[in-house]
Amino acid sequence: MRMETIAKLCCPFDKEELDLTILSQDLSGNVLEGILHCKTCKRIYPIIKGIPIMSPDEYREKKYEQPMLDAFAERGKLLVRSK
C-alpha cells in the first residue's frame, strides 16, 4: 500500500486519524505489513500483503487476526491486542 493512500485513511468508526506502525516495506517504500491504530477508539487495523483490513467489528474474524498480531508481537514490533 502506498504511503499517499495510507495518509488519506481515517478510522471508519470515529473518523479520527490513524497512526501507522510499519513492519515491512517493498523496495519502492510501499507498506506490505503494518498496523493502523486509532488513538481515540483504540481499534487496530492490520495491513496484510499491502491491504488494510478495516471491516466493521461485527464482520471481523478475531480468531484469524490474533495469530497475525501475536506474530508481530513476537517480532518485537507490536504490544497490543485486537479489540
At 66, is the secondary structure helix, strand, or coil? helix
Residue 30's closest CA among 5, 9, 54?
Answer: 5
User: What is the structure's pLDDT at 23?
Assistant: 87
User: What is the structure's pLDDT at 81?
Assistant: 42
Q: Is residue 81 part of a domain?
A: no
Q: Please list the pLDDT of the chain residue by residue as tens digits (83 residues).
A: 999 999 999 999 999 999 999 989 999 999 998 899 999 999 989 898 999 999 888 888 878 778 777 877 776 655 444 44
Q: Is residue 16 part of a domain?
A: yes
User: Into how many domains does the chain fold?
Assistant: 1
Q: Is residue 46 part of a domain?
A: yes
Torsion of CA 38, 30, 5, 9, to 10 degrees: -10
User: What is the structure's pLDDT at 3?
Assistant: 93
Q: Cβ distance 83 to 54 under 8 Å?
A: no
What are the cell numbers at 8?
A: 488519506
Q: Determine the structural domain holding residue 54 and report its residue range.
A: 3-74
Q: Is residue 80 part of a domain?
A: no
Q: Is residue 53 part of a domain?
A: yes
